[in-house]
Each structure stands twice: as structure tokens, then as C-alpha cells.
Amino acid sequence: MCGIAGSWHPGARAPADALLGLGRRMGEAIAHRGPDDSGAWADAEAGVVLSHRRLSILDLSPEGHQPMISADGRWVIAFNGEIYNHAAMRADLAALGHAFRGRSDTEVLLAAIARWGVPAALERGNGMLALAAWDRQARTLWLARDRLGKKPLYYGTTADGSFVFGSELAALRAHPALRAEVDPDALALLLRLGYIPAPACILRGVAKLPPGSWLKLDASSMSGGVVLAEPVRWWSALERQRAAIRAGFRGGDDEALAELDALLRDATLLRMEADVPLGAFLSGGTDSSLVTALMQAQSSRPVRSFSIGFDAAGHDESAQAAEVARHLGTDHTELHVDGKAALELVPDLPRLFDEPFADSSQLPTALLCRLARRHVTVALSGDGGDELFFGYTRYARALRADALLARLPRRLLARLEGERS
């Protein structure tokens, strides 16, 4: 992962050295996200600074350095993520006459923004991202997140009226004028839901940009330290689901399985492109086993797979993971830990996860990441499989509740819907 951060104080002309110093401090606060390179860029006249920490995955050369400036000098971006279809987008842009310096997907995204604008570039891209783009001509700042919000992005205002943003709250806290106070409403959400949903944030005056959204700011978007602009949703999972249900699927079970298999293979292959060592998290469950199997089926060498085992039998799936690894022929690494190792990790959790959330899986996930990082730079996992394929029992309960709701008289349903809206 990489990390981005920055600040904008409209109307305040700070010396370039001061702005660059601020950008470097904000970037240094999230240095763990990008150990391979760092950069800061400032527009002193506008009061803007962008900062970036790089974990090199595609194009390890200096051509991938960020913040990156467009060929025409108008756009500057700091980007965290990966554009999986960058090769296809590169070909489209090359056909329009664009010449590229390097092989990074950052340069492709920047060229797409310069050619088509931020919203259209987001629509054309297939990937995960958190993005900050400064338009030097229009003097506007754009923030954006990918469709499902895989990459985090926080933003807020400080006591001196600056707008700040970053991949982690640590970057925002590095700004000297940020008041890092707990928001009691966000705390209530945490106690009620077990996590803090976007746009809420544990810190007062700070928000999370929602998934599939962009935020466009100009000097008129901020007044008295308040952000007047609202995020714009450019993609909605719910809308796509409803559209798919309305359209239906034309074909039988065999055709549906074939199409699903093709989609999963393509999605996995796109994520396997890397100029650094690649591996897989393998728990032995359905989702991670499927991803690892799809990786191995499309790899010319044994895939590096990793799993964590626990002394407590009720929490240990390492035997299943090892069996899957043997069946697939992966190069498997397994680490067994006890409860003491998990407890020793607890003090590090606030630094690792930024915001509190009530899911005990954060402990084995953190241990697994530490294990994998000794051997690989990128690892694929089965996270999200339960959400995609109704793996949790709550989905079955929701379907049963929906079926019961459908038995109610239509007039009563309409009345209930009216009261809810």
C-alpha cells in the first residue's frame, strides 16, 4: 500500500519551504505505508501541498515517483492504489497521441484525468484507489475513492481554517492546527454497530470520504473552517445490484457458472500483475481457497501461500489450509501462535487500524500480514467473499424477513414505506 496526505489553506500564502515541510511531516506520519520512496509538492501561491509515500509494485523506477505532474503541467496527483486495467487505458490514450515516460499505472491515471477529467477517468478505471488531484488552472482540489472503498481517505478542517486529508488519521494529526478530539456521536455508532460507518469518523471535525465518491473543492467550498461541498457518489453497489436484478440473467445454471468462473479468473489475473513478490492469504475456508486456486491455475510457478495457526482448536484452521496448499501445490508457510502472542499485539492495534472496530479477526489478520511481509510485498485474500455470495447467516435471516414482509397488505407496505422516507 501507498499513502497520501496534504493540506490546503485558501487565501493563505505560505512560503514554499514551510508548505513542503508540512507535507513531509504529514507523509512521515504514514511512512510505514510506503517505505520505498517519498515526495512532496507545493503550490505556494495557492497554499496547497500534496505528499506521497510509495510502496513500489508496478514500475519500480523513478518514473513512478509521486506527486506526479501531468505532461501539460495542469494537474498534480497523489495516488494510493492500483489501476488493474491500466494497460487497456494506456492503449486508448496512446491512440489519442499521448506519449508515456514510464510503465506506472499512476502515469496512466494522470493522463486519463488530464484528457477526460476526474469523473470520467474514475468511470473508465478498474481498480482500487484513494486519490488527491490538484487542478492548477482551475484551482480546484479533487479527492476520490474507488467503487467499494478499499483504499481509505480521511478529510477535515483545522483550527486555522486549513483543509487536510490523508490515508490515515496519523497524517491529519501531524498538522499542528488539528484538534484531535473524539467525536461522541461516532463513539455511539461504534458501540451500536461495532464499527464507524462512513462518512462518520472517530475524530470530531473529520470525515471519511464514502466509497465510490468524489469531493471537489474550490476556494468557495470552505467558509470559517467548514467544508461546504458535499461528496458526490459516482458509483453505487446498490444501484448496480438493482439494475442487474431488473435485467435478469439470460441463461441456465451452466452458463451462469461459466460466466462467474470467467469473471473470477479475470479479476484474479488482473491483480497478479506486479514487479515485486506476490502471495496469497490461505485460511482453508472457501473464499481464500478459491482465490489461491485461481492464482495457482494461472501461475507458472508455485504460489506463495501463508496461514496462521492457533493453539486453541476452536480457532485453528491451519490443518485445512495445509491440506488445500498440498492439493494446489503452493509454496506454503505456516506460523503457529498462542493466545499470548495475540494479546501482545493488542497495544499496536490503534496504530495499525486507525479507528476502533469490534472484530476479533483484526488480530490474526495483523499476525498474518507480518508473516507474509517477510516473504512477499503483495498478497491476495478472500476478504469480501461472504458479502458477495451471501456467506453470513444474517443474509439468510434478511431474506426470510423480506419474504414475511411481502405477505403484508400492499396498502400497509405503502404506508410503512412512506413513514420510513
Question: Do 151 and 127 form a contact (C-beta atoms < 8 A)?
Answer: no
Enter the C-alpha cell of residue 71: 505532461
Q: What is the mean pLDDT of residues 379-392?
A: 90
Which residue among 1, 2, 133, 201 is the active-site one? Answer: 2
Residue 342 is predicted with a pLDDT of 82
Q: What is the mean pLDDT of residues 309-330?
A: 87
Residue 243 has pLDDT above 80, yes or no: yes
DSSP 61: S
pLDDT digits (tens, 9 = 90+) for 52-101: 999 999 888 999 999 999 999 999 999 999 999 999 999 999 999 999 99
Share of the chain above pLDDT 90, in %: 76
The residue extents of the domains of the chain are 3-233, 249-389
Residue 421 has pLDDT above 60, yes or no: no
State the number of CA atoms in the 13 A half-sphere of 270 facing the CB.
18
Topology, domain 3-233? Glutamine Phosphoribosylpyrophosphate, subunit 1, domain 1 (3.60.20)
Distances (CA, A) of 330 to 255, 268, 412, 413: 30, 16, 57, 53
Question: Do 307 and 368 form a contact (C-beta atoms < 8 A)?
Answer: yes
Distance, CA of 233 to CA of 147 (rounded, Å): 9
Enter the C-alpha cell of residue 85: 486495467
Enter the C-alpha cell of residue 269: 489475473
Distance, CA of 178 to CA of 25 (rounded, Å): 13
Q: What is the mean pLDDT of residues 166-178?
A: 97
Q: What is the mean pLDDT of residues 335-342?
A: 84
Distance, CA of 88 to CA of 44 (rounded, Å): 36
Q: What is the mean pLDDT of residues 17-37?
A: 96
Largest CA distance in the chain: 69
Residue 417 is predicted with a pLDDT of 73
pLDDT digits (tens, 9 = 90+) for 275-292: 999 999 999 889 999 999
Place of cell 468511470: 123
Residue 268 has pLDDT above 80, yes or no: yes
Residue 334: phi, psi to the nearest 5? -130, 140
2 tagged catalytic: yes
The CATH superfamily of 249-389 is HUPs (3.40.50.620)
Helix (H, G, I), strand (E, B), or coil: what is residue 207?
Answer: strand
